[in-house]
Structure 1
Amino acid sequence: MNPTIDLLRNHRSIRKFKDERLSTEQIQAIVASAQAASTSSHVQAYTIIGVTDKEKKQKLAELAGNQAYVAENGHFFVFCADLYRHQQIGEWAEVEIEESLQSTEKFMVAVIDAALAAQNATVAAESMGLGVCYIGGIRNNLQGVQEVLQIPELVLPLFGLAVGIPDQQPDLKPRLPQEVIYHENSYKAAEAEVKPYLNQYDEVMQHYYDVRTSGKRKDRWSDLVMSTLKGKSRMYMKDFVEKQGFNRK
């Protein structure tokens, strides 16, 4: 349709990068693009931490579940929800904002701001021919990430973003049918309106894994999702989020 839509629809996660660092100009362009994203009430409640120190990257790779591409990439970004600077401004101005900072609404604002910024960063990186991979695995051990990156209260690491020159070209992974994702005027919850499309998608994903693994896997999407959701992963999160000063009200 146009180059921007083609770029967006060709997104894929890259987990193997060439051993070449991003230039300062590339990093600055990616961060500037992230900053151009929409932000609620212009509060800009996020921070991006670029990790270049090899030991820190290796430690983050271990914390994320020994994912090698966390350490081996062109540049590693950590996107954080951040209300710490707002707390500082309040202290300097002698304005009481603690209750607001601890609200669920401001927690959501900070998380959404960071996510929007990260997606802008991703599109910018891919427009330069770079590859990316989001790393939710850093949430396996946020206490450890906090220590590695010296993160204060009211800052919450959400995910990493590995960026670099791709050294692989994986197949595009099929997405859910639009009939499941896009609803007009009201939410479509009836089984007859949803299940046929999910069954169709299960067949598509079975074929995808069958071809990709030469017959070693034939997973249905719904089975994979149920397996994921049955597991009780990162159940410490609520306590950690509150410890950091978020979502207390």
Structure 2
Amino acid sequence: MFIIDEHRNALIAKSKGVDPESEAFHLKNSYRFTQSQNDAAFALHAMETAAFSLGLGCVILGSPLNDIPGLIETLHLPEYTYPVLGLAIGKPDQEPALKPRMPRTMQFFENTYPADGDAVLAGLPEFDAAVHQYYDLRQADRPVDAFSDQIATVSQQDVSGKTLLDKAAAQGFDLDK
């Protein structure tokens, strides 16, 4: 698990005379939370890259976030810590074809985000077909919707009950600041 860890920094600051309960203590605010979350994601990616270079396989795990309080309890995470993602590393038992990647024209833009929505989505039909073929060849008995259909479905799933900010607040973070 990759964890936001401002707890250690809070201990260091406290050892230098900074009171974590004071208004001068900012390690718990949204900027630091976001910065630490990015650092955790970068560390995960670096470990994933290192594992791949050693011939190992990886799966990024977002599912542990379905029960953040349970994960916090299981890992005995102290105040000012928060789980970001997990990474499973091991020897792959199969070598599937490389999953199709979204066309660069849909991901990378120069200087500004394109105002023309049709231009952004220009490669979508080909990408849908490639993703569908990829999954069809892997598991022909289990049909998978096209990528765009999956996005449309996800866009309508009500996840309002899966709030995360209240769980961060329970760990001492004040994300309104």
Does the Cα contact within 8 Å between 1:81 and 1:155 map onto a contact in 2?
yes
Matches within 5 A, 1:196-215: 196-214=122-140
Match of residue 93, structure 1, among 13, 16, 21: 16
Which residue type is aligned with residue 138 of structure 1?
P
1:120, 1:195 → 2: CA distance? 30
4+ runs deviating over 6 angstroms: none
- TM-score relative to the length of structure 2: 0.89
- Alpha carbons of 1:148 and 1:102: their partners in 2 closer, same or farther (altered >3 Å)? same
How far does the alpha carbon of each residue in 1:189-215 deviate from its partner, in whole angstroms, 9 at most, with x for none? 312312221222112222222222226
Q: For 1:69-108, list aligned pairs within 5 A.
A: 78-96=1-19, 99-108=25-34
Partner SS for 1:245: coil
CA deviation after TM superposition for structure 1 residue 148, in Å:
0.9
Q: Which secondary structure does the structure 1 equivalent of 2:44 belong to?
A: helix
Answer yes or no: is 1:217 the counterpart of 2:140: no
Q: 1:114–1:93: structure 2 CA closer, same or farther, 3 Å change rule? A: same
Alignment of 1:3-22 (within 5 A): none
Whether the 8 Å CA contact 2:18–2:25 is kept in 1: the answer is no
Counterpart in 2 of 1:8?
A: none
- Structure 1 residue 108: deviation in Å? 1.0
* 1:184 alignment partner, SS class: coil
Q: 1:210, 1:217 within 8 Å by CA — same for their partners in 2? A: yes
Gap regions ≥5 residues in structure 2:
none
Does the alignment pair 1:134 with 2:57?
Answer: no
Query: Aligned pair 1:194/2:120, yes or no?
Result: yes
Give the alignment's Cα RMSD to 1 decimal: 1.8
Q: CA deviation at 1:176?
A: 0.8
Q: Secondary structure at the match of 1:142?
A: helix
Q: Give the alignment partner of residue 238 of structure 1, picking from 147, 157, 165.
A: 165
Pair 192,130 (structure 1): closer, same or farther in 2 beyond 3 Å: same
| Cα distance between partner residues in 2 of 1:90 and 1:218 | 51
Structure 2 CA distance for partners of 1:218 and 1:116, relative to 1, 3 Å: closer
Aligned counterpart for 1:159 among listed residues 85, 109, 114? 85
Amino acid of the residue matched to residue 45 of structure 2? Q
Amino acid at match of 2:64: I
Match of 2:94, SS state, is: coil
Q: Which amino acid aligns with 2:10?
A: Q
Amino acid at match of 1:114: A
